[in-house]
Amino acid sequence: MRVDIVTIFPDFFGVLDISLLGKARGTGLLDLRVHDLRDFTHDRHRTVDDTPYGGGAGMVMKPEPWGEAIDSILESTDAADPLLIVPSPAGTRFVQTTARELAEEEHIIFACGRYEGIDQRVVDHYSERIRVELVSLGDYVLNGGEVAVMAMVEAVGRLIPGVVGNPESLVEESHEGALLEYPSYTKPSAWRGLDVPPVLLSGNHGAIERWRHEQRVERTQRVRPDLLPPA
Ligand code: 6GU
């Protein structure tokens, strides 16, 4: 999969060199390229923003650098149908189903907006040329798209076949089914007066399965009743 990220903070994405995704990049499963939006400006101050037409607080990102940046990426792609994602609190909610769908994409371009957003014409223009989606992490406001893109790239990247060593570990996870995950324990069996639930030491695999299922149901009822079907 190819992923391009356009941002005014390219250094922010340095952490994608490490851990699981860094390994995926090393093995060629993930072709991740980060671009500095300011490289597509032509003035001495490398200006990417300006005051909003109609007035109001904050600054708006100018369309021209975005046009040049995204055009240059599109000129370099082999993908038949690349997808432009604009992270925005005004977008559709990013959930595990979204991650699974995006993991099937050949080429995703993330446009990280800052300030009060990107001139609307950027979305309007590219919507006539390629698929464009506004995507939100949740109902809260971040200062820009960078943190949201980091989360999305991690959620999608780990679903690319071969990125997670043991595909079994993707199956039982929270949100892949309707229930949250069960709690996990490892050695020592007693720690600071807290014992591992005895059933996990019993060797009774049927009992362990049942206990873990009960834990998932109880936990889901307690913290995320919205995930359960109506009673
Ligand atoms: Cl995707 N972007 C911004 N700026 N804020 C957010 C968000 C995205 N998702 C939740 N809040």
pLDDT at residue number 41:
98
Asked whether residue 113 is marked as a ligand-binding residue, the answer is yes
- Residue 157 Cβ inside 6 Å of ligand 1? The answer reads no
Contact present, 65 and 72 (Cβ < 8 Å): no
DSSP E strand stretches across the chain: 2-7, 31-36, 49-50, 60-61, 83-93, 107-111, 131-136, 190-191, 194-195
Say what the ipTM of the complex is.
0.95
**84 contacts 130 by C-beta, under 8 angstroms:** yes
- The DSSP symbol for 215 reads H
Q: Is the CB of 88 under 6 A from ligand 1?
A: yes
For ligand 1, say whether the CB of 1 is within 6 Å of any of its atoms: no
- What is the pLDDT, as a whole number, of residue 230? 85
Spans of all domains in the chain = 1-156, 171-225
Query: What confidence tier does 110 reach under pLDDT thresholds 50, 70, 90?
Result: very high
Calculate the average pLDDT of the chain: 94
Put simply, whether the predicted model's pTM sits higher than 0.90 gets the answer yes
Q: What is the pLDDT of residues 29-82, one digit of tens each?
A: 999 999 999 999 999 999 999 999 999 999 999 999 999 999 999 999 999 999
Q: pLDDT tens, 111-127? A: 999 868 999 999 999 99
- What pLDDT is stored for residue 172 in this prediction? 55
Confidence of residue 19 (pLDDT cuts 50, 70, 90): confident
Confidence of residue 176 (pLDDT cuts 50, 70, 90): low
Share of the chain above pLDDT 70, in %: 97
Ligand 1 centre and the CA of 35: distance in Å?
20
Question: Residue of the nearest CA to atom 8 in ligand 1?
Answer: 88
- State the architecture of 171-225 in CATH terms: Orthogonal Bundle (1.10)
Name the residue at shortest CA distance from atom 2 of ligand 1: 88
Of 86, 139, 140, 141, the residue with max ligand 1 atoms within 8 A of its CB, to mutate for a pocket test, comes to 141
- Domain at 1-156, CATH class: alpha beta
56 annotated as a binding-site residue: no
Percent of the chain with pLDDT over 90: 84
Taking residues 203-209, report their average pLDDT. Answer: 98
